[in-house]
């Protein structure tokens, strides 16, 4: 299908500072990326969109994910975002190329499983990758693995149901431990010494992964994404000034295509963050 590049819905040059960064995920997982971006760019204004009505993304088709990603990126730009972070490995694998082709002038940061750092860290040359079914089946992941496996054995473990369970969990018990144990057992059997948390939701269950994989180094890419986001933000505003300013961080604005309550109460319980979440219709 041939597609035409389109202008960014709102011109970045016309927008006020500080930089406004749109971030989205299928649900709460991208909050782990949002937190890392907030720590690195405390003066940035963050706009978070959770596509809860259409989660989980891990079981969706590529075309569906492209369509949702385009709608949400457009929505975030209409709210003033000057750049977009796809805080979801699954949506990145399916749609990041589409977003860049549609809006060549819009900086878009994607998230992908940290195979490269994991392989570099593995003394046993055995690395586990925990991610959604869709991420692991994607062409983008195949190319990533091919480019960076570097002779190491990659043990790929799809985790259907896990993102949903994290979304619904009140705390780290709540049956989550059983699911994490089920998906970690094959990695233990394969004697991996490094495992990649290849879904932004899984970061919230990190303590359970640590328990299920004793002695195994866990890799997530939130920090690397925050660094990349800061580089892009640097091109948009003078970040040096922003960092030096000690005024309080601007409010985080958030939207959900599903129940705003789910996102708000997750942010309160897990991040001690009070966020007013509005309905997102797109
Ligand atoms: N948080 C998303 C990711 O990083 C996906 C979770 C889902 O299946 O919706 O892949």
Q: For a pLDDT cut of 90, what percent of the chain falls above it? A: 81
Q: Is 61 a residue whose pLDDT tops 50?
A: yes
Residue 277 CA, ligand 1 centroid: distance in Å: 20
Other CB atoms within 10 Å distance of the CB of residue 120:
14
Give the pLDDT confidence score for residue 236 in this predicted structure. 84
What one-character-per-residue DSSP string does 49-78 give? EE-GGG--GGGS-HHHHHHHHHHHHHHHHH
The model's confidence at residue 237, banded by pLDDT at 50, 70 and 90, is confident
Give dist(CA 130, CA 119) in Å, integer.
Answer: 14
- Domain range list for the chain: 12-111+223-279, 115-220
The model's confidence at residue 11, banded by pLDDT at 50, 70 and 90, is very low
Per-residue tokens: 98: 């589409």
**115-220 CATH:** 3.40.50.1860
The model's confidence at residue 243, banded by pLDDT at 50, 70 and 90, is very low
**CATH for 12-111+223-279 (3.30.565.10, 3.90.226.10, 3.40.50.1860, 3.30.70.20):** 3.40.50.1860
Q: What is the pLDDT of residues 94-122, one digit of tens each?
A: 999 999 999 999 999 999 999 999 999 99
Give the pLDDT confidence score for residue 171 in this predicted structure. 61
What value does the mean pLDDT take over residues 14-19?
58
What amino acid positions are annotated as catalytic residues?
A: 88, 199
**Ligand 1 binding pocket mutation candidate from 33, 49, 58, 86 (most atoms within 8 A of CB):** 58
The model's confidence at residue 249, banded by pLDDT at 50, 70 and 90, is low
**pTM, to two decimals:** 0.90
The model's confidence at residue 244, banded by pLDDT at 50, 70 and 90, is very low
29 lines ligand 1 (CB under 6 A): yes
Give the pLDDT confidence score for residue 31 in this predicted structure. 96
**Ligand 1 binding pocket mutation candidate from 157, 160, 179, 201 (most atoms within 8 A of CB):** 201
Q: What are phi and psi of 215, to 5 degrees?
A: 80, 0
Chain position carrying tokens 């705003």: 260
Cβ-Cβ contacts under 8 Å for 220 (sequence gap 6 or more) = 32, 114, 196, 197, 200, 202, 203, 206
Of the listed ranges 6-20, 25-39, 76-90, 263-277, the one predicted with least confidence: 6-20
Q: What are phi and psi of 142, to 5 degrees?
A: -55, -45
What value does the mean pLDDT take over residues 134-160?
97
Q: Is 1 a residue whose pLDDT tops 90?
A: no
Q: What are phi and psi of 194, to 5 degrees?
A: -140, 140
Residue pair 199/161 in contact by the 8 Å Cβ criterion:
no
26 lines ligand 1 (CB under 6 A): yes
What value does the mean pLDDT take over residues 263-268?
92
Closest approach atom of ligand 1 to CA 59: 8
Q: Compare 168 and 93 and report the one with higher pLDDT.
A: 93
Residue pair 138/146 in contact by the 8 Å Cβ criterion:
no
Q: Is 13 a residue whose pLDDT tops 90?
A: no
**Coil, strand or helix at 157:** strand
Give dist(CA 270, CA 29) in Å, integer.
Answer: 11
25 lines ligand 1 (CB under 6 A): yes
Residue 143 CA, ligand 1 centroid: distance in Å: 19
What is the helix (H) or strand (E) element at residue 34, kind and residue range? helix 31-40
**Angle, CA of 163, 166 and 167, to the nearest 5°:** 85
35 lines ligand 1 (CB under 6 A): no
Check if 12-111+223-279 and 115-220 are the same fold. yes
Closest approach atom of ligand 1 to CA 55: 9
Give the pLDDT confidence score for residue 8 in this predicted structure. 60
Closest approach atom of ligand 1 to CA 26: 9
221 lines ligand 1 (CB under 6 A): no
């Amino acid at each position: 299908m041939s597609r035409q590049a389109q202008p960014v819905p709102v011109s970045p040059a016309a927008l006020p500072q500080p930089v406004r960064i749109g971030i989205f995920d299928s649900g709460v997982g991208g909050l782990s990326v949002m937190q890392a971006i907030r720590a690195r760019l405390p003066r940035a204004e963050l706009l978070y969109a959770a596509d809860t009505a259409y989660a989980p993304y891990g079981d969706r088709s590529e075309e569906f994910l492209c369509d949702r990603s385009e709608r949400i990126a457009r929505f975030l730009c209409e709210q003033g975002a000057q750049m977009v972070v796809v805080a979801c490995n699954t949506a990145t694998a399916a749609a990041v190329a589409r977003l860049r082709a549609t809006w060549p002038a819009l900086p878009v940061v994607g998230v992908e499983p940290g195979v490269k750092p994991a392989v570099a860290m593995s003394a046993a040359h055995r690395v586990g990758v925990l991610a959604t079914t869709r991420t692991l089946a994607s062409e983008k992941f195949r190319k990533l693995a091919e480019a960076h496996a570097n002779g190491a054995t990659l043990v790929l473990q799809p985790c259907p149901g896990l993102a949903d369970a994290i979304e619904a969990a009140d705390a780290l018990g709540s049956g989550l431990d059983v699911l994490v144990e089920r998906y970690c057992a094959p990695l233990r059997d394969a004697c991996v010494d490094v495992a990649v948390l290849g879904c932004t939701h899984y970061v919230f269950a990190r303590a359970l992964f640590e328990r299920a994989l004793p002695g195994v180094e866990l890799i997530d890419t939130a920090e690397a994404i925050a660094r990349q986001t800061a580089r892009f933000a640097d091109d948009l505003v003078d970040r040096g000034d922003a960092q030096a300013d000690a005024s309080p961080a601007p409010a985080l604005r958030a939207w959900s295509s599903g129940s705003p309550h789910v996102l708000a109460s997750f942010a309160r319980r897990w991040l001690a963050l009070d966020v007013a979440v509005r309905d997102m219709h797109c």
